[in-house]
Structure 1
Amino acid sequence: MTKLLTPVELNNVQLKNRIVMSPMCMYSCMEQDGKITPFHMTHYVSRAVGQVGLVMTEATAVLPEGRISHEDLGIWNDDHIDGLKQLNEQIHSYGAKTGIQLAHAGRKARLDSDIYAPSALAFNEQSKTPTEMTATDIDRAIEAFKNGAKRAKKADFDIIEIHGAHGYLINQFLSPLTNKREGNYGGSRENRYRFLSQVIEAVKTVWDGPLFVRLSTDEYAAGGNKLDDILYFAEQMKQQGINLVDCSSGGVVPASIKPYPGYQVKRCETIKQETSIPTGAVGLITTGIQAEEILQNGRADLVIVGRALLRNPYWPKAAADELNETLTAPKQYERGWK
Structure 2
Amino acid sequence: MSVALFEPYTLRSLTVPNRVWMAPMCQYSAEITGPNAGVATDWHFAHYGSRATGGTGLILLEATAVAPEGRISPADLGLWNDTQKEALRRIAGFLKSHGTVPGIQLAHAGRKASTNRPWEGRGPYTGEACWTPVAPSPVEFDEGYPVPTELSVERIREITGQFADAARRALDAGFEVVEVHGAHGYLIGEFLSPHSNHRTDEYGGSFENRTRLALEVVDAVRAVWPEDLPVFFRISATDWLGDAGWTGDDTVRFAALLREHGVDLLDVSTGGNGGPAQIPAAPGFQVPFASRVRNETGLPVAAVGLITESDQAERILADGEADAVLIGREMLRDASFARRAARELGAETHAPSQYAWAI
TM range (shorter): over 0.9
Q: Report the equivalent of 2:342.
A: 320
Unpaired runs of at least 5, structure 2: 115-124
Q: Secondary structure at the match of 1:233?
A: helix
2:148 to 109, 130, 136: 130
Query: Over aligned residues, Cα RMSD in angstroms?
Result: 1.0
Say whether residues 1:98 and 2:107 are aligned partners.
Answer: no
Distance in 2 (CA, whole Å) between partners of 1:276 and 1:92 is 29
1:50-100 superposed Cα distances (whole Å, 9 cap, x missing partner): 010001100000000000000000001122111111111111111100110
**Correspondent of 2:180 among 157, 162, 169:** 162
Q: Give 1:328 shift.
A: 4.0
Letter in 1 for 2:322: A
Tell me whether 82-91 or 37-46 shows the greater mean CA deviation.
Answer: 82-91
CA contact (8 A) 2:136 2:199 kept: yes
User: CA offsets, 1:248-278, max 9 Å, x none?
Assistant: 0000114232311000000100010011100
TM-score (norm 2): 0.92
2: CA distance, partners of 1:270 / 1:15: 23
After TM superposition, list the pairs within 5 Å mapping 1:116-127 onto structure 2: 116-127=134-145
Residues 115-167 of structure 1 deviation map (CA, whole Å, 9 limit, x = unaligned) = 11000000011111100000111011101001010111110100000000000
Q: Which residue of 1 aligns with 2:247?
A: 226
Deviations 1:176-225 (A, max 9, x none): 00000012100110110000010011111211220000000011113112
Aligned counterparts of 1:199 and 1:128: Cα–Cα separation in 2: 26
Q: Which amino acid aligns with 1:28?
A: S
Matching residue of 1:7: 8
From 196, 207, 212, the equivalent of 1:194 is: 212
Confirm or deny that 1:180 pairs with 2:184: no
Distance (whole Å) between structure 2 residues aligned to residue 274 and residue 121 of structure 1: 34
CA distance in 2, matches of 1:82, 1:329: 26
SS in 1 for 2:214: helix
- Counterpart residue identity of residue 58, structure 2: L
> In 2, Cα distance between the equivalents of 1:230 and 1:73?
28
Q: Name the SS of the counterpart of 2:326 in structure 1.
A: strand
Q: Distance in 2 between matches of 1:11 and 1:151?
A: 21
Give the distance between the partners of 1:334 and 1:86, measured in 2 at CA. Answer: 24
Which residue does the alignment assign to 2:23? Answer: 22
1:183 match: secondary structure: coil
- Cα separation, 2, equivalents of 1:186 and 1:250: 20
Counterpart of 2:90 in structure 1 is 86
Whether 2:287 is the aligned partner of 1:265: answer yes
Gap runs ≥5 in structure 1:
none
SS at 2:238 equivalent: coil
Q: Deviations over 1:35-60 (max 9, x none)?
A: 01000000001000001000110000
> Are residues 1:75 and 2:60 paired?
no
Amino acid at match of 1:78: D
Q: Deviations over 1:276-331 (max 9, x none)?
A: 10000000001111111111111000110000100000001111122122334310
CA distance in 1, matches of 2:179, 2:216: 15
Identity of aligned residues (%): 44
Distance 1:197 1:168, change over 3 A: same
Residue 230 of structure 2 corresponds to 210
Q: Distance in 1 between matches of 2:292 and 2:40?
A: 37
Q: 2:232–2:266: 8 Å Cα contact kept in structure 1?
A: yes
The alignment partner of 2:357 has SS state of: helix
Matched, 1:143 2:153: no
Aligned length: 337
Change in 2 beyond 3 A, CA 1:296/1:132: same
SS in 2 for 1:280: strand
- Could you say which residue in structure 1 is the equivalent of 2:117? none
